[in-house]
Amino acid sequence: MAEPVSVAAEYLAGSRARAARTVLGQVVLPGEELLLPEQEDAEGPGGAGERPLSLNAGARSRVRVVCGPGLRRCGDRLLVTKCGRLRHKEPGSGSGGGVYWVDSQQKRYVPVKGDHVIGIVTAKSGDIFKVDVGGSEPASLSYLSFEGATKRNRPNVQVGDLIYGQFVVANKDMEPEMVCIDSCGRANGMGVIGQDGLLFKVTLGLIRKLLAPDCEIIQEVGKLYPLEIVFGMNGRIWVKAKTIQQTLILANILEACEHMTSDQRKQIFSRLAES
């Protein structure tokens, strides 16, 4: 019968792998497979999508594509593991097929090497501090990882202090380790965050949006009041203004930014600037 065949075709329609190029910017769901474009020759980006297998299979060179968050390699395809929009970044220079990743909205942070985060010191045991960064395990921070710290000259860190640092070890198998110096031994803005101010939590997507190069929100907020602000990639923001009221207003604006359109935001800013 023809009808069951058409239904069977409809079943499989959802599971056919699509080319990654055609899905850029669209919402992808876990379980989808994406095909990568393969380039015929080594010189220049000549690839124009997938080509059928040529008789001279040895001449085809593979392009090195980086699989970012939300994607896993399975065979020579990409398997989507998180729901979100598929993004692609062209390689800046040289070879490689660029980076593909899925832009998803999440609240829970998973430590990644190189990320700058805000942590709260929860325990001091011997030579290391245990810092809560919002992940599944507290990160460890050695007392020597501060600028100018020596065995005699210990940093002044108490339980409950806020620390801004970066991860040097962060993978699924080991306990995350963070430091407050960069590779040259300088603090570069990291270390214990000062007195007062307010720490609050937002989603990871909002942090990435605020830290994007041309974010208008930060420029507008800066024109409003003089302030100090620290963004942690683990979804935590620390903000400090002259008075407590201003600090609270800034915290509320940043939390609400996620759900507002840019017009609503401009309205609120103009209303605040008047008052």
Tell me which residues touch another protein (CB under 8 A). 3-4, 7, 10-12, 14-15, 27, 29-31, 70, 72, 79, 81-85, 104-108, 110, 135-137, 172-173, 205, 258-261, 264
77 pairs with which residues across the strands? 35, 74
Read off the amino acid at residue 123. A
Q: How far is the CB of 121 from another protein (least distance, A)?
A: 17
Locate tokens 């297998």: which residue?
53
Cβ distance to another protein smaller for residue 103 or 220: 103
Q: How far is the CB of 25 from another protein (least distance, A)?
A: 11
Cβ distance to another protein smaller for residue 215 or 227: 215
Cβ distance to another protein smaller for residue 137 or 182: 137
Q: How far is the CB of 97 from another protein (least distance, A)?
A: 23
139: closest CA among 107, 159, 165, 106?
Answer: 165
Q: How far is the CB of 132 from another protein (least distance, A)?
A: 10
Q: How far is the CB of 244 from another protein (least distance, A)?
A: 23
Cβ distance to another protein smaller for residue 51 or 208: 208
Cβ distance to another protein smaller for residue 29 or 273: 29
| Three-state secondary structure call for residue 87 | strand
Q: How far is CA 185 from the centre of its chain?
A: 25
**Quick one: CA dihedral 261, 262, 263, 264, positive or negative?**
positive
Per-residue exposure over 79-109, b if at least 16 CB sit within 10 Å of its own CB, e if not: bbbbebbbebeeeeeeeebeebbbbbeeeeb
